[in-house]
Amino acid sequence: MNKRIDIIVVGTGASGLFYALNMPANKQILMITKTTVDASDSYLAQGGICVLKGEADYSSFFEDTLKAGHYENDKASVDVMIRTSPEIIEDLIALGVEFEKKNGEFAFTKEGAHSKARILYHEDMTGKEITGKLLAQIKKRKNITILEEMTMVDLICEDNMCSGVVACDRKGYINLFESDYVILASGGLGGLFDSSTNFRHLTGDALAIALKRKIELENISYIQIHPTTLYSQKPGRRFLISESVRGEGAVLYNRRMERFVDELLPRDLLTMAIREQMEKDESDFVWLSMKAMGSENIKTRFPNIYQHCLEEGYDVTKECIPVTPAQHYFMGGIKVDLDSKTSMKHLYAIGEISCNRVHGANRLASNSLLESLVFAKRAATHISQNYETGKQNKPYVNTNEFKDLEQLKKDYKESILAEIERSKVVELFNHTKA
């Protein structure tokens, strides 16, 4: 298939959907996704979304974000994210998103490394609530088309300008989609890891393509491990036990059923403490207890976690569950500015695949959905205000490069992993110099 469209969005998670909803209706938008439209990590987000509760909360929100990120955050990015958060919440509510309320007022929860409760939530399925409502609105827009099982394998570009996407469909056919702009919203890279909370198909292909096309990357060795996922010997994606659980009072025990750590430490520090305890215990997990929260509260506040654990043979209202760290989030990615522009003209990156350094070296809990939406909207605003028609004469694309797709996947994976290792050395050198 050869097709020309105004804008192509690669990915159907929260950032991609929100970007498309913020573009004018006179722009024809094609969204492509590697599997099904709802198989994005945005759907899996349990905890919630941060919001600035008022000017008095600004300093602590800012400091909490920087402290969790080991002060490697870009302060301008953090400021934009925090200042824009009330506007984003208003947008979500206008689009039909529902957040928990108590006595008619928003209920806020607290998670690790937050000094105050500033997180809005919807049960323990906030990501599903937000992304599902965004998708429902997308389906009403006549200018937006979604193609499922359409995998980006390259960008169409020349002279450092992007003018489309090369994609492979479910039958293995190569499709050329030309466009004025391309928006990369393709998610993280958890599929590269044996143990991850991410969907297995999220393998960071955009990073390999960026390397191939000499698009700038940043901090790609900054990969976050979540301290508490449900321990299982089954293969496949690891089930997340949200940080909100610990924020609401759950505690961690060693094999002797003794508390051994402050459960609200930043994720990287808590992960380190859990791993040290696992080594002492000669165990593959530690224990997490939610019992003190009370049976009814658990079932109401965390129905998804309660039900999943029950299916795995654990009643969290009565017993501890085994938890262990697993790969969770990607703080690095394709380097972007405050408007989500990459180093290539007419190419933008948003969501987890992008890096605006807002998270620094370690993401603060529940900043991911917020950051994705804030900078997706900024990308839409910038493109709308500065729209330029791209190249009308498409660059030559040698489709023979994509005949062996399995080998291409292997090559992309190897190039990403090699660059991550190279980046680790560079970061270590930079830290040593500092």
User: Catalytic amino acids?
Assistant: 267
| Burial environment of residue 429 by CB neighbours within 10 A (0 to 12, 13 to 18, 19 or more) | exposed
CB of 10 closer than 8 Å to CB of 182? yes
Q: Which helix (H) or strand (E) holds 214?
A: none
Structure tokens at 404: 């062996």
CB of 237 closer than 8 Å to CB of 198? yes
H-state helical runs in 161-294: 205-212, 243-247, 267-281
As a whole number of angstroms, the longest Cα–Cα distance in the chain is 69
CA distance 349 to 184: 4
CA distance 34 to 21: 20
Count of beta carbons in the 10 Å neighbourhood of residue 232: 15
Specify the residue for token string 């827009």.
Answer: 141
Structure tokens at 203: 């393998």
| DSSP-assigned letter for residue 312 | T
CA distance 21 to 189: 25
CA distance 378 to 410: 34
Instruction: List C-alpha distances in Å: 274 to 37, 101, 191, 268.
Output: 35, 34, 23, 10
CB of 19 closer than 8 Å to CB of 350? yes
CA distance 155 to 199: 23
> Nearest to residue 8, comparing CAs of 167, 141, 130?
167
